[in-house]
Amino acid sequence: MNEDTNQVPNTGANQEDNKNTETKKDFATPNIPAQLLKPYDPTEVEPRVQKQERESGFYNPDVCIKEGITKADAPVYSIILPPPNVTGTLHMGHALGFTTQDIIIRYKRMKGFRTLWIPGTDHAAIATQSMVEKNIQKTEGKSRHDLGREELLKRVGVFAQQSRDTIVSQLQTLGASIDWSREAFTLDEERNFAVRTVFKKMYDDGLIYKKNRVINWDPKGQTTISDDELVYEDRKAKFYTFKYNKDFPIAISTTRPETKLGDVAVAVNPEDARYKEFIGKEFSLDFCGAPITIKIVGDHEALMDFGTGAVGITPAHSMTDYQIAQRHNLPMIQVIDEKARMMVGGPEIIGKKVVEAREIVVEWLKANDLLISEEEIDQRISTAERTGGIIEPLPKLQWFVAVNKPFKLAHSGIKGIEAGAEVTLKEIMQKAVSGGQIEMLPDHFLKTYFNWIDNLNDWCISRQIWYGHRIPVWYKGAEVYCGIEAPTDTDSVGADDEAGESTDKWIQDEDTLDTWFSSGLWSFSTMGWPTKASDPQSDFAIYHPTDLLVTGHDIIFFWVARMILMTGYALGTIPFHKVLLTGMVRDMKGRKFSKTLGNGIDPIEIAHKFGMDAGRMSLIFGTAPGTDSKIDENKIKGYKHFANKIWNVTRFILTATEGLYETAHSGVGEDGTKINFTDADLALIEKRNEVFKSISTNIDNLKIHIAAEDLYNYTWKEFADIILEDSKEIFADVDNLEGGAIAKKKSRAKFLLETLGLIIKTLHPFMPHVTQEIWSLLPAELKTRELLMTEKWPTF
């Protein structure tokens, strides 16, 4: 530990500063620390304080216990950091969440809790791989297949590492008092073991299954994605109405004529008088060079008053049609491949991209006089969240998690679920929250959460990308093996090897898991589960479930729900007691921060310009949980002024109480008599204590934006503007005029010093750097420890 940082180095530079400020002779007294004579300079102070805090080891609760800062049997408080994606750098949106967590963590630590905050990063599978692929394509003109699985993974690994380093330094710049000794990564060996363990358990319980069905295919990313990874875009589209051929009795409509080469049926409403007579009939015909057989089926899904009232059914390329086809036992004919090219049809159409094929089919319809009408409509198309590719529904053999399948939950700490009872994953997600064990703030997001669960379908978890947790399943001919460890006699073929080679060795499934599968385990995979789960001294035994999750409301489905699912399933418990949802941070025009707009603000930039303390305050101040906020530099500037204000308040108090503070703080005057507070000061104390009591209460209730405001107002408007101004008169009073003058001064000096200490302590979670710096300059009598973060929180 570097104790020197609290001392004022007696360098030439400082002496020079003293000379420069000599005009202010009133303050150039030997007892006033030299750096106080200058305005507060966050760029010099903040990195130094961060280093000092970090090197003290007190971010780690084990060290706090060892050094006697925290009692071993103290109540526990734990938070896991929502791991940022290793796709780039943090912006002010992250900073809001992380600052919120740091405030709570510092508060709890000072209150004596055994406090743990675990950091980490997320490998973000598709997002990261596609970013690296794009870079390689741009700089080297190579695809991932040119590089091969091993080489690509190496490149992605390097990128992820750089990204992680940036994120770590950003978190440190933020002043996050997080325990770096416990840093985790969603794709490291320990987390991989947890993933394999849970996968195997789910597989054995029949909750993970492999099935051929229509999934969301991203032709750009060359992978499947889950329903939640779809992003909808509004576009104009042509809506064509036509007949398959001249003899076909019913006209249908579509925006995608090229898919009609894969049609197997036309669905009409069984009540529809126009078409009733045709139900059950079959027509074989040639459509654009592809022989197709269309069966007319009756299905209530077909709405009589929409379009022609008849729906062409393309089971292989539409989710809805797939479901209708299932009901009527219809075949599924794939006509579009993974590159979104036509697989069937005449020579003019086969091999063409869907968009070109669409034009060709329309031309063909026109040429054969089959097109009845063509109108422009608004349409929502699905695109892939990470690559922007237009989703092509395709039939594929994929892995799924069954959310509606009952299984026996061996252990249960979830209210409303008995141990050993039959439940579904959906029920776990519902009961963990509806039973009140998990609280959400603001609570109106509960409706969003439940609504999502009600409409939830089985979760497609396999991805055809290489960066991620490989599915722990091996094949040997027709045999399938799922295990935590690879079977012996495994052939370690890479993905590039041509499949289909018959071998007598086990070959692992090529696919990787959805990144949210591993994120879902984060609350316990970061704590030594499963290896050390049974050890009562393990983090898992001590700190799980965690107390609080602070995250953006945009990932309630992706992450919050998946954590509840995974924790409920694997442990029969909840991952956290409370969820605090933060809003989005936007620019002054209300736009989201984005790379393409170039409006993103890097927290490091803020630290350079205004100081991170100011940045932290500006994020918290006036921002209610769950509501979006706007931020601009003007606002941040205001809190830079605030930091400087406290700095000057400190200078004033130390100067004004010069010679008084020793006696004032000891509570005994020079003559040995006790210093009593004057009635006026007693009244100030009462009022002050009330303010600080309510600040604590507000932090306890996670209303940190209100606590920050109260603290700001008291410090500036009450303490500085009124009390300090009033004190000037008291201190200016000439001693010998009346006997009470000296007693009044001592009383006030004691009050000012105590209150300053109180402000600095209470403000510390919000503005850790400036408060630590001031703390180091306060007279020793005021403090019990050098590091403010380990001081006791003031209680009344």
Partner RNA sequence: GGGCGAUUAGCUCAGUUGGUAGAGCAACUCAUUUACACUGAGAAGGUCAGGGGUUCGAGUCCCUUAUCGCCCACCA
Report 685-724 residues binding RNA (CB under 7 A).
Answer: 698, 701, 703, 705-706, 709, 712-713, 716-717, 720-722, 724
Taking the complex as a whole, the smallest distance from the CB of residue 70 to RNA amounts, in Å, to 29
Name the residue nearer to RNA (CB basis): 58 or 459. Answer: 459
Q: Give the shortest CB-203-to-RNA separation in angstroms.
A: 26
Count of Cβ atoms closer than 10 Å to residue 242 Cβ: 25
Q: Which residue number, 41 or 602, has a Cβ lying nearer to RNA?
A: 41
Q: Which of residues 452-491 bind RNA (CB under 7 A)?
A: 452, 455
Residue 544 token pair: 């799980």
Site for RNA in 154-213 (CB under 7 A): none
- Given 87, 318, 526, 551, the residue binding RNA (CB under 7 A): 318
Q: Does 253 bind RNA (CB under 7 A)?
A: yes
DSSP string across 229-248: GEEEEEEEEEEEEE-SSTT-
Q: What are phi and psi of 655, to 5 degrees?
A: -70, -50
Site residues (CB under 7 A) for RNA, limited to 362-391: 379-380
Find the binder of RNA among 14, 648, 676, 696 (CB under 7 A). Answer: 648
Residue 37, beta-bridge partner list: none
- The rounded distance, in Å, linking the Cα atoms of 646 and 774 is 9
CB of 358 to RNA, least distance (A): 13
Give the footprint of RNA on residues 543-602 (CB under 7 A): 554, 557, 588, 590
Residue whose CB is less far from RNA, 64 or 365: 365
Comparing CB distances to RNA, the nearer of 231 and 682 is 231
State the DSSP string of 185-221. Answer: ETTSHHHHHHHHHHHHHHHHTT-EEEEEEEEEEETTT
CB of 23 to RNA, least distance (A): 8
**Judged by CB under 7 A, which of 537, 596, 634, 784 binds RNA?**
634
Residue 223 or 253: the one with the smaller Cβ distance to RNA is 253
Q: Which two tokens stand for residue 63?
A: 């060290």
Task: State which residue, 3 or 378, has the beta carbon closest to RNA.
Answer: 378
Phi/psi for 298 (5° steps) reads: -100, 125
Number of residues that bind RNA (CB under 7 A): 77
Closest C-alpha to 336, from 263, 391, 262: 262
Among 3, 189, 498, 725, binds RNA (CB under 7 A): 725
How many other β-carbons are positioned within 10 Å of the β-carbon of residue 602? 17
33-52 residues in contact with RNA (CB under 7 A) are 39-40
Strand order in the sheet with 459-460: 223-225, 208-218, 392-401, 459-460
Which of 62, 67, 151, 227: binder of RNA (CB under 7 A)?
227
From 56-64, 103-111, 410-418, 626-634, give the range in contact with RNA by CB under 7 A: 626-634
Segment near RNA (CB under 7 A), from 249-257, 596-604, 668-676, 749-757?
249-257
Site for RNA in 726-785 (CB under 7 A): 728
Tokens found for residue 638: 């205001």
Nearer CB in complex with RNA: 191/640 = 640
The residue within the footprint of RNA, chosen from 408, 444, 687, 792 (CB under 7 A), is: 444
**CB 251 → RNA: shortest distance, Å?**
10
Site string for RNA, 486-525 (x = CB under 7 A): ----------------------------------------
The residue with tokens 């002050």 is 688
| Residue 629 near residue 586, CB atoms below 8 Å | yes
Please give the residues from 650 up to 689 whose contact with RNA meets the rule CB under 7 A: 651-652, 655
Amino acid at 19: K
Nearest-Å Rg of the Cα atoms of the chain is: 33
Q: Which residues pair with 217 in a beta bridge?
A: 224, 392
Rounded distance, CA 296 to CA 311, Å?
10
* Range in contact with RNA (rule: CB under 7 A) among 281-289, 433-441, 637-645, 737-745: 637-645
User: Residue 428, CB half-sphere, CA atoms under 13 Å: how many?
Assistant: 33
User: Nearest distance from residue 377's CB to RNA, in Å?
Assistant: 7
Rounded least distance, CB 390 to RNA, Å = 14
* Chain mean position to CA 428: 22
Nearer to RNA, 32 or 668 (CB): 32
Interacting residue with RNA among 640, 746, 748, 761 (CB under 7 A) = 640
DSSP code for 557: I
Q: In sequence order, what DSSP letters do the residues of 435-474 get, joined into one string?
A: TSSSEEESTTHHHHHHHHHHT--PEE-EES-SSSPBP-EE
Bridge partner list, 373: 241
**Which residues in the 294-313 window bind RNA by CB under 7 A?**
301-303, 306-312
Which C-beta is closer to RNA: that of 651 or that of 688? 651
Considering only the stretches 122-130, 448-456, 593-601, 766-774, report the one whose residues sit in contact with RNA under the rule CB under 7 A. Answer: 448-456
Least distance from RNA to the Cβ atom of residue 24, Å: 6
Helix then strand then coil, in percent of the chain rounded to 5, is 45, 20, 40
C-alpha span between 287 and 293 (Å, rounded)? 10
Shortest distance (Å) from residue 448 CB to RNA: 6
Q: What is the dihedral of CA 209, 214, 215, 221, to 10 degrees?
A: 120
